[in-house]
């Protein structure tokens, strides 16, 4: 039943060659959301996965911007906190930052300090793992806040890029769908 639902979801996700630049195959999660039945299917898969794999989670942490869609939808259903990690300069109040390297240059992620208490059991949510850089940086930011990162949940994992290699080993990674 679970596998059948995952297969159905997978059949709804379209890919676009050479987007946003030549040589990149872009997996577009929004293509699955243009149909209400698939929205419901995806939501039930995410919630079921969290109930099974991460039953103790206290907060889901969504990564800007596509991660926000799914962090809020599952938080609302499970009745747990939904916390954002955003690019520098977007969150008001006191923030904690983490700077990380990209292929060219670097970027800074931020989280609101008041939203985290030591030991808070957090699950990082995003639509996709490519190089793993975003998830790794988010996990490191949460660790500097002394949060307890219990894992990561993504819809799509591009296994050919071996993003898991960049994510701290102690952090459990669960993906619904993989592509080579």
Summarize as ranges the residues that interact with ligand PRP (CB under 6 A). Answer: 63-66, 126-134, 163
Task: Count the alpha carbons within 13 Å of 27 in the hemisphere toward its beta carbon.
Answer: 19
How many residues are there in the chain?
180
- Minimum Å gap between C-beta 113 and Mg ion is 23
Which of ligand PRP, Mg ion, none interacts with 110 (beta carbon under 5 to 8 A by kind)? none
Catalytic residues, by residue number, are: 66, 103
Which of Mg ion, ligand PRP, none interacts with 157 (beta carbon under 5 to 8 A by kind)? none
Reference 60, options 47, 48, 74, 46; nearest CA is 74
- Minimum Å gap between C-beta 118 and ligand PRP is 26
Judged by CB, which is closer to ligand PRP: 28, or 77? 28
- Minimum Å gap between C-beta 158 and ligand PRP is 8
Judged by CB, which is closer to ligand PRP: 77, or 133? 133
Judged by CB, which is closer to ligand PRP: 77, or 107? 107
Contact 135, 150 (CB under 8 A): no
Judged by CB, which is closer to ligand PRP: 24, or 76? 24
Bridge partners of 63, per DSSP, are 85
In whole angstroms, give the CA distance from residue 32 to residue 85.
Answer: 24
- Minimum Å gap between C-beta 128 and Mg ion is 7
Among 5, 10, 53, 66, binds Mg ion (CB under 5 A): 66
Phi then psi for residue 29, to 5 deg, are -60, -30
DSSP E strand boundaries for 51-120: 59-63, 81-87, 95-101, 106-112
In whole angstroms, give the CA distance from residue 76 to residue 55.
Answer: 15
- Binding residues for Mg ion, per CB under 5 A? 66
């Amino acid at each position: 039943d679970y596998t059948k639902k995952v297969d159905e979801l997978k059949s709804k996700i379209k890919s676009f060659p050479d987007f946003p630049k030549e040589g990149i195959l872009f997996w577009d999660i929004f293509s699955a959301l243009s149909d209400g039945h698939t929205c419901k299917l995806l939501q039930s898969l995410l919630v079921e996965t969290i109930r099974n794999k991460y039953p103790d989670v206290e907060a889901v942490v969504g990564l800007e911007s596509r991660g926000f869609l799914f962090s809020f939808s599952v938080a609302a259903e499970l009745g747990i906190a939904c916390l954002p990690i955003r690019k520098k300069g977007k969150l008001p109040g006191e923030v904690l930052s983490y700077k990380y390297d990209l292929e060219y240059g670097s970027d800074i992620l931020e989280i609101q300090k008041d939203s985290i208490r030591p030991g808070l059991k957090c699950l990082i949510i995003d639509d996709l793992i490519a190089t793993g850089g975003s998830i790794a940086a988010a996990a490191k930011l949460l660790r500097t806040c002394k949060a307890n990162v219990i894992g990561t949940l993504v819809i799509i994992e591009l296994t050919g890029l071996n993003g898991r290699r960049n994510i701290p080993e102690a952090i459990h990674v669960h993906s619904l769908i993989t592509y080579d």
